[in-house]
Amino acid sequence: MSIYIGRHTMKSLKKYKTPTRKLCKLFLKSRNKWRLKYQNAKKDIKNLKNLNRYSKNRIKQLKMYIKELETKLAQVEQKIDIYQKQNNSQQTEDYLPIPFRDVPRKHTYSIGHIMLFISLVLFAGISMRGAAKAIEIFILQMQMNLLIPSWYAGRFWLMRLGLYKLLAPKQIASDWVWIIDHTNQIGSEKCLLILGVRLSSLGPNLILKHEDVEPIALFPVKSSNGNTVYQQLEESAKITGVPREIVADHGPDLKTGVEKFCNHHKKTVYVYDIKHKSASVLKQELKGDDDWENYCKYASQKRNETQQTRFAPVMPPNQKTKARFMNVGRLIRWGKKLLSFFKRAKNERLDGIDNEEIEKNFEDLKKFESKISEWDELDQITSKTESIIRKDGIFNGCSSKLKTELKDEIKTESGQRVADKLINFIENEETKARPNEKLVGSSEVIESVFGKLKRIEGDQEKSGFTGNVLSVCAMVSKTTLEMIKKAMETISTPCLNEWCMENLGDSIQCQRKKILKPCMKEGVASN
């Protein structure tokens, strides 16, 4: 049986007990419900498709927004990081001393860096490379936020400071004291240094320190004679005015030049350095003494024999070939102390020391016992004279004071001769002093400056004079933080190089490289 219901035909129907008319109504009602469900489902599907499309667009927009937020977040984090660094840097700077926060114009390193380096080199006896390394260790160990300078930068700091002090204007006055001397290195070059101090600035103690004197002039020359020195002194007089006094040794060119200068300027007096004078007196007394010559030979021989043995602790001191009689005191004191040990060794035992072996090895020293006592007297007389003149200076009546002071030291004829020569010398020198005036009698300060220069240069002195010679000017007079800042800002590198080229030229090492440059052989460099 087939039943037609709307557009659908059902070929087979279940057999229901319910009448057909009721079934038709029921099926129609059911169909309408399913139609409504279908329409609602279709509508929901459409809405879901629209929602899906909207969601995709929204997701895309949100991704772009998230990316934009991430960019802004990175920028904010960067600003926070910069702020924190600046804040930390500011906090670090607050803990740094003021000199380390003060950087000279057109410079990288602070005044504190420069002052620390200069102090280590000039006052602590450290080499330039050692000073740079010491600063590096200090900064790293203290965890300070500071740059670490190289030794080469420090070398330029020294040269700048030296040139600044050298070129600084000096007050024109009539009471200047010039202390002058030559220094030389390898080659024929000499360098005349003039240090100055005013008599009005000196106190009762005339022992001069490095900070008491100022650099007046520095003249590196290829060769020097009396006329050269005279011209250099005349040029220096334009800086300070004609000096009251010139202290120097009796080197041939110095003596000739200074005497010529004093002849042209009658108010200037020439004072012979007391250290060189006492050495000259000792030389006159000891040079022809066979016992002294034998003693020197014995000490030299014993030094060579014992310096690599167990007797090294008591070996004689090294004898200088230059200025021997300025250093005889060390050799005399060695013999005196060792002879004293022989006497004490009979009743005194020292741990780890064989008294008999030492005495046996230096048995021949006893032959000079009486002469050593005599020579020690000469050393005491000259040392006391130097000490008095160095401290009190030269003034009217100083020879009488010296005579009184030396009275208890004189015990032998040779001692009397040496004392008489020194007293006569001081009597002649004191006539150069005006009433109530004290003149400087020692040039040891300039010898000390030259000694420090040689230590700073080290092996570089084998290259002749270089820009390091300016460090002699840096190590004298007072050095303040303000002066260092002015020196760094005033003396430029071109100015420094110009002075070096005009006054020094090529060093020995530079000339050596030009002459003995590598030879080219078949395209290969051969040293």
At 427-453, the pLDDT tens digits run: 999 999 999 999 999 999 999 998 888
- Kindly tell me if the per-residue pLDDT of 4 is higher than 60: no
Strand order in the sheet with 176-184: 214-221, 190-198, 176-184, 245-248, 269-272
The residue among 354 and 280 whose pLDDT is bigger is: 280
pLDDT above 70 covers what percent of the chain?
88
Q: Looking at the 3D structure of the chain, how many domains does it have?
A: 3
Q: Are residues 286 and 139 in the same domain?
A: no
- Kindly tell me if the per-residue pLDDT of 374 is higher than 50: yes
Q: Are residues 183 and 102 in the same domain?
A: no
pLDDT at 343: 83
Q: Are residues 113 and 253 in the same domain?
A: no
For all residues of the chain together, what is the average pLDDT?
86
- Kindly tell me if the per-residue pLDDT of 459 is higher than 70: no
- Kindly tell me if the per-residue pLDDT of 524 is higher than 60: no
Quick check: is 88 in a domain?
A: no
The CATH number of whichever domain residue 175 belongs to comes to 3.30.420
Which of 146, 165, 184 lies at the terminal end of a domain, its last residue? 165
Quick check: is 154 in a domain?
A: yes
- Kindly tell me if the per-residue pLDDT of 248 is higher than 90: yes
pLDDT at 24: 85
Q: Are residues 295 and 434 in the same domain?
A: yes
Quick check: is 261 in a domain?
A: yes
pLDDT at 354: 74
At 167-203, the pLDDT tens digits run: 999 999 999 999 999 888 766 678 899 999 999 999 8
Quick check: is 326 in a domain?
A: yes
Q: Are residues 421 and 284 in the same domain?
A: yes
The residues, any chain, with a CB within 8 Å of residue 415's CB and separated by 6 or more, are 374, 377, 378, 381, 409
Q: Choose the weakest-confidence range: 7-21, 203-217, 263-277.
A: 7-21
Q: Are residues 116 and 256 in the same domain?
A: no
Q: Are residues 115 and 155 in the same domain?
A: yes
Q: Are residues 292 and 432 in the same domain?
A: yes
- Kindly tell me if the per-residue pLDDT of 506 is higher than 70: no
- Kindly tell me if the per-residue pLDDT of 493 is higher than 50: yes
Instruction: Say how far apart CA 251 and CA 129 lie, in whole Å.
Output: 35
- Domain hosting 104: range is 98-165
The angle that helices 493-503 and 151-167 make with each other, rounded to 10 degrees, is 70
pTM here is: 0.76
Quick check: is 76 in a domain?
A: no
Quick check: is 118 in a domain?
A: yes
Instruction: Say how far apart CA 181 and CA 178 lie, in whole Å.
Output: 10
Q: Are residues 368 and 312 in the same domain?
A: yes
> What is the average pLDDT across 500-505?
82
Quick check: is 52 in a domain?
A: no
The residues, any chain, with a CB within 8 Å of residue 491's CB and separated by 6 or more, are 160, 163, 164, 167
Which of 133, 165, 197 lies at the terminal end of a domain, its last residue? 165
pLDDT above 90 covers what percent of the chain?
44
The string of DSSP codes covering 304-339 is HHHTTSTTGGGPPPPPPSSSGGGSHHHHHHHHHHHH
Q: Are residues 190 and 262 in the same domain?
A: yes
Quick check: is 473 in a domain?
A: yes
The string of DSSP codes covering 145-176 is ------HHHHHHHHHHHHHHHHHS-----S-E
Q: Choose the weakest-confidence range: 10-19, 361-370, 424-433.
A: 10-19
At 377-424, the pLDDT tens digits run: 999 999 999 999 999 999 999 999 999 998 888 888 999 999 999 999
Contact 183, 250 (CB under 8 A): no
pLDDT at 325: 78
Q: Are residues 287 and 432 in the same domain?
A: yes
pLDDT at 461: 57
Q: Choose the weakest-confidence range: 168-182, 198-212, 239-253, 317-331.
A: 317-331
The residue among 285 and 1 whose pLDDT is bigger is: 285
Which of 165, 184, 212 lies at the terminal end of a domain, its last residue? 165
Q: Are residues 141 and 207 in the same domain?
A: no
